A and B are shown apart, each in its own frame.
Chain A
């Protein structure tokens, strides 16, 4: 269920076990996917992005064939994400709650993707042994074959096959984001009450936009995508009725993902620019189209150069004749 890591001098390391055959790496990942999906566990981990560190607790259980998961931010403000089967909820510091869209299939674990449909833009290597949270682990590396995406380093528990540690690594070998278990308990006693949703002060959901809304006729098209990235279904939603709907279209290569948002804006007062936090980049551009002026924002875990190249090629068309 988690991945990413830091590579301090990774770029200088020679592949240790580049010889490891594909099927072995493949089997390891399949086992990991299965473990992350089917085992009951609870543990605490460090989450680091850029120079920030959070401590979090995660519990996972399968009860009556349904997956339950609870992710709790332990330091600073209390934020939680609770998954109950297909339902995913985010509880914010003020105890308001956002219900995330759950109509589509549940989240796929990393290993599901890698094991079933290994993106050809990545190379997977078994990298040797390591130790995480006091447990023996197998190190693996998922290396991108071009510069349009980030790589990963994974540590798999040798006993349970759970993912104990993962890092996202940029092209120069610097870790941008890391998840690392500090404690892990296998097969804890977890009941449904452990995944109960606390009383929320108010609740909101991102509302779908009616088919008849003029925005629905917009088509967001990228001129250029990095190899292997495919567009997912376009999705119009609005956060509140007094706000303009924002269109979103997701793109993924099977591992990395970014989302392009488009909203109609007036002529004035919009900030464009680039921000980065850890592996997440956000780029905003104004775009003048025949049908109006739009703000295009790309949010995702791809290198900034990739994000800029994609957003420069975005066009917005009014699909009406």
Chain B
């Protein structure tokens, strides 16, 4: 990897400055693309990385944030599941990244401040629907969104994408959206 993980993770979270974003985009290489993909699969990574490696305060505040978000979860089952999955993955990614950075700073003796970083990530605007249906303490089994996503919902997404492609002036863009969500939901 050509660049430090922190910048790349900030980029993943849309938290880089415009200058940094340009720099990341300019220098992005296959290793970086791999890393980005890997973080999306961070759920799996989580299983292999015992969460006890994460500072206790970090885990507690994350769990609290998740619990708080979980309460009012009345939502359409289908997109909800996609969303939950997406968010579970993003939170997991942040967690793993946090864990990695923490380990890195640990070795240089710097104090970890991941909990507050995590808080700010959770409050980003597009994390608004970020309800997560599991905790990272290992007490709750991992949700299995694939089984929960209803085909009905995917049909709606298909139909909306089709309509949007034809009428929204967004060209094939709605299909990119569809492809991405379909790949993530694994509903079929």
Contact = CB atoms under 8 A, between A and B. Distances in A.
Interface string A1-44: 11110101100000000000000000000000000100000000
Interface string B65-90: 00000000111111110110011011
A132 B18 CA distance: 13
Contacts of A1: 171-173
A71 B182 contact: no
Given A98-B158, A107-B166, A93 B182 contact: yes
A293 interface: no
Interface stretch (B46-54, B55-63, B105-113, B120-128): B120-128
Interface stretch (A212-220, A268-276, A312-320): A268-276
A132 to B, nearest CB: 7
A138 interface: no
A184 interface: no
B80 A273 contact: yes
From DSSP, what is the main secondary structure of chain A's interface residues?
Answer: strand
B75 A79 contact: no
| Contact-size category for A | 35 or more
Given A6-B14, A92-B188, A272-B74, A278 B170 contact: no
A261 B78 CA distance: 14
Contacts of B175: 71, 81, 88, 90
Interface in A57-79: 58, 69, 71-73, 75-79
Contacts of A51: 12-14, 86-87, 90, 93-94, 124, 126-127
Interface string A174-199: 11110110100000000000000000
Contacts of B79: 275, 277, 280, 282, 299
A196 B140 CA distance: 44
B126 A239 contact: no
A101 interface: yes
Contacts of B181: 277
Contact of A49 (B17, B124, B162, B177): B177
Contacts of A132: 25
A164 to B, nearest CB: 11
Nearest 6 interchain pairs by C-beta:
A113-B169, A273-B75, A276-B129, A51-B90, A257-B168, A75-B37
20 contacts: A8-B15, A50-B86, A50-B126, A54-B179, A73-B179, A73-B182, A75-B40, A76-B41, A108-B166, A174-B124, A175-B14, A206-B155, A257-B164, A257-B167, A271-B74, A271-B75, A271-B77, A274-B75, A282-B75, A304-B128
Interface of B: 12-18, 21-22, 25-26, 28, 33, 36-37, 40-41, 73-80, 82-83, 86-87, 89-90, 93-94, 124-129, 151-152, 155-184, 186-188
